[in-house]
Chain A
Amino acid sequence: MRFLANLVLWGLVGVAVLVAFLAILNGKLVTRAWVSRFASRQALAVNPVNGVPVVRALAVINRWRRFGLASGFVLAALWSLQEGRLDFNFTAMFLGWFVGSLVAEWRINPAASGTRRRADLNRRTLASYVTAGNRILLGATLLALAGFGAWAGVVALGDAGVSRDWLGWALTSALGASALWAVTRRIVNRPRPVAASDLMEADDALRGQSLTVIAGSAIALAGLPLTSFVAEIATHLAPKADASATVLIMLVALALGWHVASRSASVRAQATPA
């Protein structure tokens, strides 16, 4: 009897998780307000010619981000269910959203088509799409991650050997940095056939927006391993000290990441005379 009650209860929880998953996935993929925000941040004049590819690309990006968010939610919920409780893990959801953002960039593929193909002779680099300030912030975060990671590793080796925590975060950081590098290259190098100037401007705006949002998200997510590494170092240097202050690192990373992803200026806006 008790088994049956448990089965019904977890069945209901499972249905609730599924409903939440579908709710996240459903809904409008691209709203007028979102397109307006995008256009204003990227100083892009959206018109009937470039509006179609812009909306199409934004829809692909949003679909994958939502799918990642929903997957993060479901996986975390299922993980917690097996331990007899139901958690809403925001970190897992954010991580899922981030992975979805990366996958989306692979789905946008304006491959060269037709027999007559044109290309311009400008080199495209990260600097073409992400402002110097944001690039410095991202570089400093990755440098801090590598530095504190190495320091924490040396500290852990000097003690009782590397901890599982350190190893886990070090591997995750390396994997995340590699994924970031690969996606950045993908966005910068994906085909950009020469077309009407408003289409090319829209293409630049989409690349700039994607790279900036991904850079901001990477900064925010780097707060997790950074906090762990600094806590490990702090525990070693002052075993009696309260390591809870390291949470500040997490908060600063989140605030900086949010600013870069959603509030910082775009290269296009900086280049446009006021």
Chain B
Amino acid sequence: MKDTLIYILKGIVKDPDEISVVEYDENKNKIFEIKASEEDVGQIIGKDGRTIKSINILLNALAGSSKENFILKVIR
């Protein structure tokens, strides 16, 4: 799932090379920490968090039946 996330992110940002994702588990949740260039942070989150929410919804749909939740954190 991490690869898919990185692929989506690289598709929507200005500096694809700046993207890095760290994955870890916490309380049965899967957490992805996204690092991006300062400019792209806003793009990834989107207006009212719409884009990051959309990415989360999409990831959960793709992962399907496995019931773990994804939490996305965007950091600079």
| Chain B binds chain A | no
